[in-house]
Amino acid sequence: MIQSRATPSDDESALTSLLRRAVPYEKAGAVIPRDLLAFGLFGSSIIIATGLFALLLPDAAAIRHSGFYLLLGGFTANLDSLMGHAVSPALICGGTLLVLDACLMQVRTSERWRYVIVAQAAAGGIGGAFATVFLALVVLNLVVWLALFALALMVLGVFLSAMGD
């Protein structure tokens, strides 16, 4: 007699048979927690914001030949060139990751998908680091120009006071 898997055997209880069949369904996982998903959404948003920021930047040649960047002008131009080449991949990747997050909000997933969310947040941090370094270089050069302007005003003040005596 061939016994099907759906019917319990003589020495197996109905509860044991039910648990034996239900175990594979428990491996489906759970919905990703909202706190973890918020990190993924934040990472995707930063990737998109970095791509949009790179669209607004001037050409690398304009930065290289401008008189504004007294310190690290070549590095700033190279960073701008790198960010300019990463605009479309950043926008496409960020949009795709937002769609992925929207899908992961609804479905039960395994543990491996949580690592995808963590990697997404890390990618957002890396993308945001490029924009932060660029803005830090702009602020550094702005501070240098303000210091030079203040120094010029001080020299002018000393010169005028010496002329007055």
Q: What range defines the domain where residue 59 resides?
A: 28-139
Ranges 18-22, 75-79, 91-95, 109-113: which has the least confidence: 18-22
| Residue 119 falls inside a structural domain | yes
| Residue 22 falls inside a structural domain | no
| Residue 129 falls inside a structural domain | yes
Q: From its phi and psi, is residue 98 left (phi > 0), alpha (psi between -120 and 50) or beta?
A: alpha
Tell me what percent of the residues of the chain surpass a pLDDT of 90. Answer: 38
**Residue type present at position 155:** V
| Residue 23 falls inside a structural domain | no
Total domains in the fold of the chain: 1
- Supply angle C-alpha 70, 71, 73, rounded to 5: 80
| Residue 122 falls inside a structural domain | yes
| Residue 4 falls inside a structural domain | no
pLDDT for residue 65: 87
Class of residue 86 by CB neighbours under 10 A (exposed 0-12, middle 13-18, buried 19+): middle
| Residue 108 falls inside a structural domain | yes
Q: Please write the tens of the pLDDT for every residue from 102-152.
A: 888 887 777 788 888 888 889 999 989 999 999 999 999 999 999 999 999
User: Is this model's pTM higher than 0.85 or not?
Assistant: no
CA distance 134 to 50: 11
Query: Cβ(42)–Cβ(120) under 8 Å?
Result: no
Q: What is the mean pLDDT of residues 21-31?
A: 60
| Residue 36 falls inside a structural domain | yes
Ranges 7-16, 78-87, 140-149: which has the least confidence: 7-16
